[in-house]
Structure 1
Amino acid sequence: MASTPLKPIRSMMFVPGNKPNMIEKAAGAKADALILDLEDSVPADLKVEARGIVKAKLAWLAEQKQRIWVRINRSAHLYDFDDILAVVSPLIEGIVISKPCGPED
């Protein structure tokens, strides 16, 4: 079975993962990809809540034919495993890593 090649991403819109209304509004902007941010734009005390919001919006965004990526947090163990477990699904196209420090990342 041949797969359909993806179009290049020419525009990305980063959206705070803790703001469901902004996520919905951003989908209307028609950027090539939405980057749902769990990192810098989300206050530390709202990061767990943001994971749930992002996960809840994935199906709706997919229905809008929106390409979806999620930017995850760094942690003591390189990247936040809880972020990854919360959002990885067939509905997202990829993960954006935050602030790589070197080739080991």
Structure 2
Amino acid sequence: MRASIVKMSRRVWDEGILEKEWELAEVVTIPKKGDPEQVDNYRGISLLPVGLKMICTIAARCLNEYMEQNDILDERQAGFRRGEEEEDVRVFHRLLEGV
């Protein structure tokens, strides 16, 4: 299975070709708190094919690693960085609001 994933990943990277089935996502609604009769109390999510999610995960890891190694991201960028605590970001924003 691992060999298939590697082969699939290389095809996407080298040729820029995605499987036809990956071009579609199923969008479903998830209820939030509140009155279910109100449209605003729902949020949409996209259900993606597993193969596409795997390719996107691999790509995201490669890009993040490259940006970290080459010091491309600003130190204030923490939203999707490993090792950056969400609470630290919240405290930082609270401090900025108080200034």
TM-score calculated relative to the size of structure 2: 0.23
More strand by share: 1
Q: Which has the higher helix share?
A: 2
Q: Which has the higher contact order (CA 8 A, sep 6+)?
A: 1
TM-score (norm 1): 0.22
- Structure with higher Rg: it is 2
